[in-house]
Amino acid sequence: MAAQILDGKVMSEKLRREIGERVLCLKREYGVVPGLAVILVGNDPASEIYVRNKEKGCLEAGMHSETVRMPAETQQEDLEREIDRLNRDPRIHGILVQLPLPEHLDEAAALARILPEKDVDGFHLLNAGKLMTGGEGVIPCTPRGALYMIQQTGVDLTGKEAVVIGRSNIVGKPMAMLLLRENCTVTLCHSRTKQLAEHTRRADILVAAVGRAGFVTADMVKPGAIVIDVGINRVDGKVRGDVDFDAVCGVASWITPVPGGVGKMTITMLLQNTLEAAERTARRG
Ligand code: NDP
């Protein structure tokens, strides 16, 4: 039987309606409009598209959106001065530095400069540490969206074997931590993993965050597994995931498509993180 589709578009639309309603409540009760600032250094075309989508998402949800465009030759101190300004700005509840930054800039130092409570990407060391130690921090958007999709299957995650392929700080590692928090038994695989398929074939939940089109083939998947495809790969002008979708559909019980899967959820979770940051600020008074 073909796998059921976890539709990121449908889930995002529902979540964004709920976010919009909570934005209205916040305005009514506290006079607070959630605000997101995105800093874009240089003019990478892919980043330009992401930033435009973020602006559009904010406006549709009734949020305040600000994009700070800085030239490619921006110096570290100028970037950090801009972050400091946004840290102080009471209209801004979330700050995001669009990655990758030009090579001469220190990405880690820039991310560390953002106030942890305004770090809506969840990349600040304090938020990463909270995720690691079980504290209440900001969760990175893509893994948060992927977990939400897994939860929509209604499957009890406790004790399930979860395998994540990819160990980046923005996807793989936080994804593994989130699944661990849900009481899965987690295996984190990477390019040096030996006999990868032996790991993946044990997975009740398989998350692919590799960056290689069609990398996960049907023979790597346990029958009935939930397969989450984080990959976004451009092949011959088309967007493809890390999973061989057509073949894996015949083996898995649930699967996310690309496009229309996890990618749709990422900006939605960014809006959610910004809303929650604004709610925390408003309630603190
Ligand atoms: P990275 O390049 O940072 O990480 C890729 C990971 O895959 C690394 O840990 C690497 O291992 C591992 N890997 C590479 N080759 C193999 C292999 N042959 N076998 C096993 N593991 C391997 O990528 P990201 O985590 O940033 O992104 C992953 C994918 O997700 C990309 O396609 C990206 O475009 C997409 N993405 C999608 C988002 C969305 O919104 N849907 C958001 C962010 C990313 P090692 O560490 O050993 O090098």
54: annotated active-site residue: yes
pLDDT in tens, 93-118: 999 999 999 999 999 999 999 999 99
pLDDT of residue 114: 98
Sign for the pseudo-dihedral over CA of 12, 97, 140, 94:
negative
pLDDT of residue 111: 97
Contact at 8 Å (CB) between 184 and 164? no
**CA distances (Å), 73 to each of 42, 105, 106, 270, in order?**
8, 9, 13, 27
How many angstroms separate the CA atoms of 138 and 144, rounded?
Answer: 10
How many angstroms separate the CA atoms of 181 and 183, rounded?
Answer: 5
- Report which protein residue has its CA nearest ligand 1's atom 18: 191
pLDDT of residue 272: 98
21 CB contacts (<8 Å, ≥6 apart)? none
Tell me, in angstroms, the distance from the centre of ligand 1 to residue 209's CA.
4
Residues pairing with 40 in the sheet? 69
pLDDT of residue 1: 73
Tokens of 82: 């801009």
Tokens of 65: 């959106």
How many angstroms separate the CA atoms of 165 and 188, rounded?
Answer: 6
Q: pTM of the entire structure?
A: 0.97
The distance in angstroms from the start CA to the end CA of the chain is: 54
pLDDT of residue 118: 98
pLDDT of residue 68: 97
Report residues of the chain scoring pLDDT below 50.
none
How many angstroms separate the CA atoms of 195 and 77, rounded?
Answer: 46
* Ligand 1 cavity residues, CB under 6 Å: 142, 165-168, 170-172, 189-193, 196, 209-211, 230-233, 262-263, 266
98: annotated active-site residue: yes
